Structure 1
Amino acid sequence: MTRREFMDELGLLLGGLPDKERLDILADYTEHFLMGMKQGKTEQEIAESLGSPRLLARELLAGYRIDQAESNASVGNMTRAIIATISLGFFNVIFVLGPLMGLIGILMAFYAVTLSLLVAPFGVYLQYGVPAPSHERLLLLFGCLTSIGLGGMLGVGLLRLTKWLYRQFLRYLQFNVQLIRGK
């Protein structure tokens, strides 16, 4: 494979990156080719030492998506980072994707419980109204306050847990990319 073929294929595969990022990467690899040719290597030898442009593009895209998810925490960025990293290895599909989906399901269930604890007292008051005897009123009032308090504490704890899990998963994705790159 010649330098032109290598660069054309790499540029095409990096089409999902912003132009500035893609051009910087291509400039780096052009520099790599030029340095290798100064050392007396042929273009084919340099291309072989760099490896497959397809694998190289996957690694670069995964790294870019992880950096994007770190700098701008959002579900979309995290999803793109996950997809880019999963495409790097079959191991992730088998051993990581299943437990990750299970963990997301558990978090969603806890968020549903939190929402139920926060909303249920209002539903109780709308359905039954305020009872006439005072001891029933106090029991209902304290039950509702307990529900709102538990829901609030669980909600705060879940938000902190979700942020922590997000950071840990980003660390895993970075580790995974470095492992695949052989660093």
Structure 2
Amino acid sequence: MDKITFLNELEYQLNKLPKDVVDDVMNTYENYFYEEGQKGFTDKEIVDALDTPKQIAKRKYAKSAVKDAEKKPNITHVLRAIIATIGMSLVTFCFVLIPLIIVVIMMMAATFVSLGMILSPFILLISNILAGIQNFSISNYLFSFAYLGLGMMFLVMIVKASIGIRTLLIRYLKWNMHFMKKGTM
């Protein structure tokens, strides 16, 4: 592949990014070709030393998505950053998706437990209505209200933990992109 083909392919692969980012990346690589050419390298040698345009575009897209997730850490931007980072390589897929699935399963289980605790007074009331008044015990209701309070505390802790996990996830994605950056400019 020669310089012109490489740069055209790179520009085509960068089509998902904003125009100013594409212009900056193209300018960087054109300058890189110029500087390496001044050192005596041929276009083919320079192209062979670089990653493919598709890999470069994936990395730039992931970097842009992570920056967006840092600026606006809502679910859409974070998911886009995760998907863009996972698309970089199979290793990234294993290091991002598998821990993320484990954490999400644990958070969902904790949420269901806390919701069960919050609903315990209502469940007790319905079971007493269905079983009849003879099974009524004030201590059961006191325990169920204690579970209600604990469930609400756990739910608040889960929300706070999810915000912390989101922050850690964005930091991890940035670290992972930096780690996977080898072999490129």
Whether these two folds match at TM > 0.5 is yes
Aligned length: 180
Aligned to 2:104: 104
Give the partner amino acid of 1:28: T
5 Å-filtered alignment, 1:8-157, equals: 8-94=8-94, 96-122=96-122, 124-125=124-125, 136=137, 140=141, 142-157=142-157
In the alignment, the residues of structure 2 paired with residue 138 and residue 109 of structure 1 have an alpha-carbon distance, to the nearest angstrom, of 27
What CA distance in whole angstroms lies between the structure 2 residues aligned with 1:10 and 1:120?
Answer: 58
Alignment partners' CA distance in 1, 2:138 and 2:7: 76
Residues 62/138 of structure 1: CA separation in 2 closer, same or farther (3 Å cut): same
Aligned-residue offset at 1:144? 4.1
After the TM superposition, which of the residue ranges 113-122 and 157-166 deviates more from structure 2? 113-122
- Counterpart CA distance in 2 for 1:26 and 1:96 is 29
CA distance in 1, matches of 2:95, 2:19: 34
Structure 1 residue 96: deviation in Å? 4.5
Measured against aligned partners, the alpha-carbon deviations of 1:50-89 in whole angstroms (never above 9, x if no partner) come to 3321221121122112222222112222222222222222
Shift of 1:179: 1.6
How far 1:150 sits from its partner (Å)? 0.6
- Counterpart position of 2:166: 166
For residues 167 and 71 of structure 1, what CA distance do their matches in structure 2 show? 11
* Unpaired segments ≥5 residues, structure 1: none
* TM-score computed with the length of structure 1 as normaliser: 0.80
The question of whether the paired residues in 1 share the 8 Å contact of 2:82 and 2:96 is answered with no
The structural deviation recorded for 1:154 is 0.4
What CA distance in whole angstroms lies between the structure 2 residues aligned with 1:24 and 1:121? 60
Letter aligned with residue 147 of structure 1: Y
Equivalent AA in structure 1 for residue 65 of structure 2? R
Secondary structure of the residue aligned to 1:5 is helix
Q: CA RMSD in A?
A: 2.8
Give the Cα separation in 2 of the matches to 1:31 and 1:96. 34
Shift of 1:170: 2.1
CA shift at 1:128, angstroms? Answer: 5.3
Output the TM-score relative to the length of structure 2.
0.79
